[in-house]
Amino acid sequence: MKKNILTILLSVYCIFQCYCYANAQSTDTFLKDSFVANGDTLRYRIMYPKDFNSDKKYPFLLFLHGAGERGRDNEKQLNNGADSLLRQASEQYHAIVIAPQCPPNEYWAKVRRVETPNERYIISLTFFPDGKPIQPMVNLMQLVENFAKEKYIDKKQMHIGGLSMGGIGTYEFLIRKPDIFASAFVICGATNLITLKRNINKKMPIWIFHGTDDNVISVDYGRQISSELKTQNKSVKYTEYPKTGHNSWDSAFKEKELLPWLFSFKK
């Protein structure tokens, strides 16, 4: 009887260990690293394709997280998309995936957020596009430029995307460095439309996503930006999710055509 109980306990323990290991593996394949410039540190996670060979060339994907994933733990930036979009990009498209983490209370772009709880949209955004970029963006641009120098990066297949604050950061990067990326996606993001139109690469394919009921970043941003960019570029796509609030990334990540579309473009 004791043998049977011991066998059962061991079996349960083994199953539990396998479960924990499988869940740990979901993010463990994203290696931790950091980039230091001018005494400032930008933490990031990186996932290399299976059987990575530095003598070969690989696509590159930069993913920018939202405000809720800021910090210094170098982990939270994988909370949204790590086990879906980013992993698929590495496994199916053999991309090198970088997911940096913005420091606490910082932003990817120079923007002022004002909460207005008595109005329809609780966040009012004011952009300051002129002048030098803020430090997290400076570090981010230097990080990407350093990777672009590596012989194993396919310079013609570098891509970028982000959600919410990361969507704002994606636009900011495309404004600051319009000629690096082959394509981009932006989920519930925003930017200064005039600055974007003036500086963005007019041939840049962008897929924009937004929820109709977004009470953090108004859907008007998605509508206006996509409408204006479409007049200059037929490669701009816009997808709007009815009755969806700020979390439109879950729906965007389920779009089966997103990654095939993203990686279909080359510079």
Q: What percent of the chain has pLDDT over 70?
A: 86
Using 50, 70 and 90 to split pLDDT, how confident is the model at 253? very high
Residue range 75-88: average pLDDT? 87
Please give the residue that has the higher pLDDT: either 165 or 39: 165
Rounded to the nearest 5°, which phi and psi values hold at 195?
A: -65, -40
Q: Which helix (H) or strand (E) holds 96?
A: strand 96-101
C-alpha Rg value of the chain to the nearest Å: 20
**What letter would DSSP give residue 89?**
H
Using 50, 70 and 90 to split pLDDT, how confident is the model at 113? confident
Using 50, 70 and 90 to split pLDDT, how confident is the model at 127? confident
| pLDDT at residue 11 is higher than 80 | no
Q: Give the three-state DSSP class for 65.
A: coil
Torsion of the alpha carbons at 102, 64, 23 and 255, rounded to the nearest 10 = 160
Mind listing the domains of the chain with CATH numbers? Answer: 30-262 (3.40.50.1820)
Distance CA 42, CA 92 (A): 28
User: Are 40 and 135 a contacting pair, CB within 8 Å?
Assistant: yes
User: Are 101 and 44 a contacting pair, CB within 8 Å?
Assistant: yes
**pLDDT for 227-241, tens place per residue?**
999 998 989 999 999
Contacts of 198 (CB under 8 A, 6+ apart): none
Distance CA 254, CA 58 (A): 24
Kindly state the tokens that stand for 192: 């200064």
pTM for the model: 0.87
Residues making up the chain, counted from first to last: 267
Q: Residue 143's closest CA among 262, 52, 62, 30?
A: 62
